[in-house]
């Protein structure tokens, strides 16, 4: 069997896939992905349910993604609570599954806007307080359709904001030094996917702590930042480090309208 790529390679290479081969997942792939859901976890609490559901294209039932997704019959459905913790957890936990799928050679695409909710969760009851807010097709990637190419171009999906526009050192004005202990983990955060590629995450490094903020850009901005923090923490762990997340009562006051989310302190 081919060696699986490591998590750093997966974060660097992953891209959203919207065009699939139409064959659907086999039972082995389904059980590996269900295991990945089981293995995923989050330090942020909140309420999240992840389901993997098959829609048989050959039987003619195709829930609507407004033509954005082609040839997928397997979809993750995310029931997410309405508070900040649930949004953070959804981003942080489900990105672990997205990366695992990429390591298995499968493409996927977080979708928070371009789908008809009622088509997807017909007959499903979510735990109290949760609602279907995200779907995600998963399967073997096919050559991108014209529509997918156009979507990527319009969103500038290949590009990310410069490091120094997002991450700061000590005072929100100074750039993070090249040899800073968090440089690589923040670089991996930078390449994370976000809704309309809006990259709302911001961070301030202070000693062995990183304070995370977000710049409100859409209803998905907290969830997006959870995805980014997942990349950050996976990188820390890949290089043998770890730390604790906590919400501190007096976080450094950020510029403009950034909102404080959580802080990470390296302990190892």
Q: How far is the CB of 122 from ligand FMN (least distance, A)?
A: 20
* Nearest-angstrom CA–CA distance, 169 and 180: 9
Q: How far is the CB of 244 from ligand FMN (least distance, A)?
A: 25
Q: How far is the CB of 214 from ligand FMN (least distance, A)?
A: 13
The nearer residue to ligand FMN, 220 or 229, going by C-beta atoms, is: 220
Window of 3-11, 49-57, 182-190, 218-226 that interacts with ligand FMN by CB under 6 A: 218-226
By CB under 6 A, is residue 224 in contact with ligand FMN? yes
Query: Distance between the two ends of the chain, CA-based, in angstroms?
Result: 34
Nearest residue to the partner ligand FMN, using Cβ: 193
By CB under 6 A, is residue 114 in contact with ligand FMN? yes
Closest CA to 133 of 97, 94, 81: 81
Q: Radius of gyration over alpha carbons of the chain, in Å?
A: 18
Tokens coding 244: 């604790």
Window of 46-54, 110-118, 245-253, 259-267 that interacts with ligand FMN by CB under 6 A: 110-118
Among 49, 64, 145, 157, indicate the residue that binds ligand FMN (CB under 6 A): 157
Closest CA to 47 of 75, 81, 19, 22: 81
Strand 259-266 with 243-246, pairing = antiparallel
The nearer residue to ligand FMN, 195 or 209, going by C-beta atoms, is: 195
Helix-helix angle 84-103:27-39, to 10 degrees:
140
Among 166, 223, 229, 230, indicate the residue that binds ligand FMN (CB under 6 A): 223
The nearer residue to ligand FMN, 138 or 251, going by C-beta atoms, is: 138
Secondary structure letter of residue 143 according to DSSP: P
Q: How far is the CB of 45 from ligand FMN (least distance, A)?
A: 19
The Cβ-side half-sphere exposure at 48, using a 13 Å CA radius, reads 28
Secondary structure letter of residue 181 according to DSSP: T
Window of 50-58, 72-80, 149-157, 242-250 that interacts with ligand FMN by CB under 6 A: 149-157
Among 40, 42, 96, 194, indicate the residue that binds ligand FMN (CB under 6 A): 194
The nearer residue to ligand FMN, 18 or 93, going by C-beta atoms, is: 18
The nearer residue to ligand FMN, 210 or 223, going by C-beta atoms, is: 223
Q: How far is the CB of 78 from ligand FMN (least distance, A)?
A: 10
- Under DSSP, is residue 199 helix (H, G, I), strand (E, B) or coil? coil
Beta carbons of 79 and 93 less than 8 angstroms apart? no
The sign of the torsion formed by the CA atoms of 90, 118, 76, 202 equals: negative
Please give the full DSSP string across 201-249, using - where no structure is assigned. Answer: EEEEEETTEEEEEE---STTHHHHHHHHHHHHHHHHHHTT--EEEE--T
Secondary structure letter of residue 253 according to DSSP: P
Window of 21-29, 182-190, 200-208, 221-229 that interacts with ligand FMN by CB under 6 A: 221-229
Q: What residue ranges bind ligand FMN (CB under 6 A)?
A: 15-16, 18, 68, 109-114, 151, 155, 157, 193-197, 220, 223-224, 227
């Amino acid at each position: 069997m081919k060696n699986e790529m490591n998590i750093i390679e997966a974060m660097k290479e992953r891209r959203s896939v919207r065009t699939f081969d139409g064959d659907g997942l086999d039972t082995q792939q389904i059980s590996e992905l269900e295991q990945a859901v089981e293995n995923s976890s989050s330090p942020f609490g909140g309420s999240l349910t992840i389901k993997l559901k098959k829609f048989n294209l050959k039987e003619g039932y195709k829930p609507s993604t407004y033509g954005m997704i082609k040839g997928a019959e397997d979809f993750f459905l995310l029931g997410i609570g309405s508070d900040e913790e649930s949004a953070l957890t959804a981003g942080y936990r489900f990105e672990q599954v997205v990366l695992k799928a990429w390591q298995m050679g499968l493409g996927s695409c977080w979708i928070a806007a371009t789908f008809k909710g009622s088509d997807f969760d017909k007959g499903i009851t979510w735990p109290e307080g949760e609602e279907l807010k995200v779907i995600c097709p998963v399967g073997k990637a096919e050559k991108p359709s014209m529509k997918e190419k156009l979507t990527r171009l319009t969103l500038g999906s290949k590009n990310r904001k410069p490091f120094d526009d997002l991450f700061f050192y000590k005072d929100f004005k100074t750039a993070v030094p090249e040899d800073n202990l968090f440089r690589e983990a923040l670089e991996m955060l930078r390449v994370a996917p976000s809704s309309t590629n809006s990259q709302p995450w911001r961070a301030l490094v202070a000693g062995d702590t990183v304070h995370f903020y977000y710049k409100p850009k859409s209803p998905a901005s907290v969830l997006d930042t959870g995805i980014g923090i997942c990349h950050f923490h996976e990188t820390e762990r890949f290089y043998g480090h770890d730390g604790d997340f906590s919400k501190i009562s007096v976080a450094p006051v950020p510029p403009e309208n950034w909102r404080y989310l959580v802080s990470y302190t390296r302990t190892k």
